[in-house]
Each structure stands twice: as C-alpha cells, then as structure tokens.
Amino acid sequence: MAIFVDDSTKVVVQGITGRDGGFHSSQMLAYGTKIVAGVTPGRGGQKFEDKVPVYNSVKEAVQEKGANTSVIFVPPFGAAGAIYEAADAGCKLIVCITEGVPTCDMVKVMPYLEERGVRLIGPNCPGLLAPGIAKLGILPTSIVKEGPVGLVSRSGTLTYEVVYQLSAAGLGQTTCLGIGGDPVIGTTFMDAIKAFNDDPLTEAFVMIGEIGGDAEEQAAAWIKENCKKPVVSFIAGQTAPPGKRMGHAGAIVSGGTGTAAEKKIALEAAGIPVAERPMDIVPCLQEIWKK
C-alpha cells in the first residue's frame, strides 16, 4: 500500500505529445503505471507509442477510458488551465510537474479543487513514486525499492539523492513524494505526513525540507503531538544568503523567518533528528528506528 495511489489509479497524461511529457510517459509506462490515455488538444485520435489513445480533452479521456488521475506536463501558461480541466473532468488526483506556474494562478485554482475534493500534488514537483504500484511524475525508477519507509520532500533532485541512499542501505519505500517548493502548492508537508502516519505499511518516514515558509515547523508541531512513527529530517539551504531566491519561488529567507537554523531548532524541539548531511539521513533513521 502507498499514500494517494493504489491499484485503481488510472492515469491520463496532459501534454503527452510534448518532449518532456512523452519521455516521462514512456518511463511511467515502462514502470507499469496504468496510463490509459493522453491529452493534447488537436491530437485526438492519435496513439502514443502505438498503444495509449490521445484525446482532445480530459473529459473524453475520463469518459472513454475511466481515467481518475492526471499527470500534467504542459507549459506554465497552460498549467492552471490543465488543472481546472482535469478537476472538472472528474480526476481526483492531479500531479502537476510543470515548473514556473504563476502563483496567482495557483491561488485561484485552489478553491476549485477544494470544492471538488481533488488532491493536487505540485506544481513544480517531481511527483510521486510508489514502488511496485505506480509512478506519477518524473522520479527515476532505478533508484527506488519497495519497503516500509515514506519520504516527502519540497525538493526534486534532493529527493532522488535521499531515495538513492535509502535504497542502497536496503531501506525500501512505501511512497516517495516530492511536493514542490512553490509558494502555493496542493498537497503540503502536513498532508503528506498525516497520510504517512495513517498508512499501515509506512513504518517510518523522512522529511526533506528547505529554507522559506514554515511548513517544517508546522509539521514538527503536529508530529510531536500526533505521530508515533520514527521520523528524521534534513533541511537544505543552511548557507543560503538572505533575501535571495534560491531557484524555487519558495526558497527565500526573508526577515529572519524561514531559515534553516530556525527549522532545525523547531524540528529538534519536536524530537525529530535533523541530519547534517544528506548521507547522514540513513544512519539517523537506522538509529532511532531501532529504539
């Protein structure tokens, strides 16, 4: 079992005929993900890799093929529109990989999703990989391994780094989830942590945070009160200068809030070990898990 996905997950890929959308759809298919349809307006009737039907709209993909989950690879100017479309068509899980989506677009899309009970992951995220079940996004499949550890991260490639080390140490994963580092995202740290806490197969989990915002502090407070599973953390950006945006729209330290040091204090105060280096995460986890 995993969080947010299961055997009934049927995927439609929005932007399947684009360069990145096509490449990663192939990867997802190769991993066994049930991609039942693709969508590119104007390309309806074509087939992706001679097997996945392409439709002009998500509505058709849902009606014809029963898609219930969308993975979005469309350019930033169309990303919010693609999210609305997927939600309106009835998808209950949407993973938006697109980087560079205007924040005001995301602010507006959020209540639309809430009204329809739709879970969004992203935007500007690597998505989700539940080893042995499905890959929704761009996490490299070669590094994952089935097992009892959950992983949630605001980062993309740093997630891969940690998953790689977990797998190398024999610690397989229930779900690896990159939620993205933009200011406004669908599924938050807190949402993921609650889901891991409720998931019977997840025995322990790892939180990869970064500078900016206070999602880590909130998560720490919640974990302290509610979570009995072992948790370890890592925070990127200890050396980031204040006031500068570190790639992610979210990764910016402003006016003494959102620093790595503050987050570390909050996490440790909640009893969550914070690894100094990415390579320390696995040893940290092994240490507290044995207790």
Partner 1 sequence: MNIHEYQAKEIFTGFGLPVPGGKVATTTEDSVALANEFGYPVMVKCQVLTGGRGKAGGIKFCETEADVRKNAEAILGMDIKGHTVKTVLITPAVDIESEYYVGMLIDRNTKRILLMASAEGGVEIEQVAKDTPELIFKQPIDPRFGLLDHEAMDMGMRLCPTDIKKARQLASAMQKLYQAFVHSDASLAEINPFIFTPEGRGHAIDAKVNLDDNAIFRHSDYEPMRDLDAEDPSERAAREANLSFVKLSGNVGCLVNGAGLAMATMDLVKYYGGQPANFLDIGGSSNPEKVVNALKIILADEEVKVILFNIFGGITRCDDVAKGIIAATEIMDIKVPIVVRLTGTNEEEGRALLSKTDLVPATTMDEAVKKAIELG
Which 143-202 positions form the footprint of partner 1 (CB under 8 A)?
143, 153-161, 164, 181, 183-184
> Is the CB of 223 or the CB of 240 nearer to partner 1?
240
> Is the CB of 85 or the CB of 199 nearer to partner 1?
85
Q: Does 90 bind partner 1 (CB under 8 A)?
A: no
Catalytic option among 24, 65, 135, 248: 248
Q: Does 5 bind partner 1 (CB under 8 A)?
A: no
Q: Does 242 bind partner 1 (CB under 8 A)?
A: no
**DSSP string of 199-234, one letter each residue:** -TT--EEEEEEESSSSHHHHHHHHHHHH--S-EEEE
Phi and psi dihedrals of 131, rounded to 5?
-55, 130
Which 97-126 positions form the footprint of partner 1 (CB under 8 A)?
97, 99-108, 110-112, 126
Q: Would you say 156 and 205 are in contact if contact means Cβ atoms under 8 Å apart?
A: no
> Is the CB of 35 or the CB of 158 nearer to partner 1?
158
Number of C-beta neighbours around residue 24 at 10 A: 24
> Is the CB of 41 or the CB of 271 nearer to partner 1?
41
Residue 90: exposure state from Cβ atoms within 10 A (0-12, 13-18, ≥19): middle
Q: Does 244 bind partner 1 (CB under 8 A)?
A: yes
Which 8-37 positions form the footprint of partner 1 (CB under 8 A)?
20, 23-24, 27
Binding-residue pattern over the window 259 to 288 for partner 1, x denoting contact by CB under 8 A: -x---------------xxxx---------
Q: Which helix (DSSP H) or strand (DSSP E) does residue 14 occupy?
A: strand 11-14
Q: Which residues contact 114 (CB under 8 A, 6 or more apart)?
A: none
Residues annotated catalytic, as ranges: 248
